[in-house]
A = this chain, B = another copy of it.
Amino acid sequence: MTDEMTGTSAEETPDAATPDEEATEIPLAERIEAILLIIDEPLGLVALAAAVGSPVPAVRQTLEMLVDDYDGRGKGPRRGFELREVGGGWRLYVREELDDVVAAFIGGQAPARLSQAALETLAVIAYKQPVTRSQVASIRAVNVDSVVRTLLARGLITELFADSETGAINYGTTDALLQHLGINSLDELPPISPLLDDGADGFDEGTIR
């Protein structure tokens, strides 16, 4: 399927300068935009060049072109987002003039209360941390991806570390949760079952009935 894709693109642009670089025939600007769309944190020039497989100077030049493009100095209209270099890295930001639109949307959007599903997921993470998303999902018997995202955004849980083997991220609760609960440490969480204390592992086997 991938081969097919590349083949199609190759046909579309037969007169590329270097015939041997089939894989990178998609314009550099597009490749950079693809990476920019998915990154969470600003990405440095060198890392970006590595990601798109092009030399640093070309990437720098294209980034500058994109900045102009998004600001409306290219062929198309100005964009609602802009490309900025902040703290040594590049990233897409909402254009500042539009912050009010975003603020109004977020203010009206986020529920002020956690849903029952979010609270239960939070409880599972609190008592079983460190715990991965799939472990939580198997306990809750539902998909918890969006709930975990909410809890992260609310600062109630945090990413602790990645499992050395699987790379799965382990989550734990934050001090913010302790403050909400009015306790000083996790030790003060009320014990919920003797089974939980001794063998967290046995738990997955459905020992509690």
Contact = CB atoms under 8 A, between A and B. Distances in A.
A61 interface: no
A155 B143 CA distance: 5
A30 interface: yes
A29 B77 contact: yes
Interface string A102-119: 101110110000000000
A9 B102 contact: no
A68 to B, nearest CB: 11
Q: What is the interface of chain A mostly: helix, strand, loop, or mixed? A: helix
Contacts of A37: 80-81, 92, 94
A36 B95 CA distance: 12
Interface residues of A, number: 58
A87 to B, nearest CB: 12
B141 A38 contact: no
A96 B41 CA distance: 22
A79 B30 contact: yes
B94 A34 contact: yes
Interface in A51-97: 51-53, 69, 74-81, 92, 94-97
24 contacts: A5-B100, A9-B97, A26-B98, A26-B101, A27-B78, A30-B77, A30-B78, A30-B79, A30-B80, A31-B80, A32-B80, A34-B81, A34-B101, A36-B80, A38-B94, A41-B146, A52-B101, A69-B76, A75-B77, A138-B153, A142-B153, A142-B155, A143-B154, A143-B176
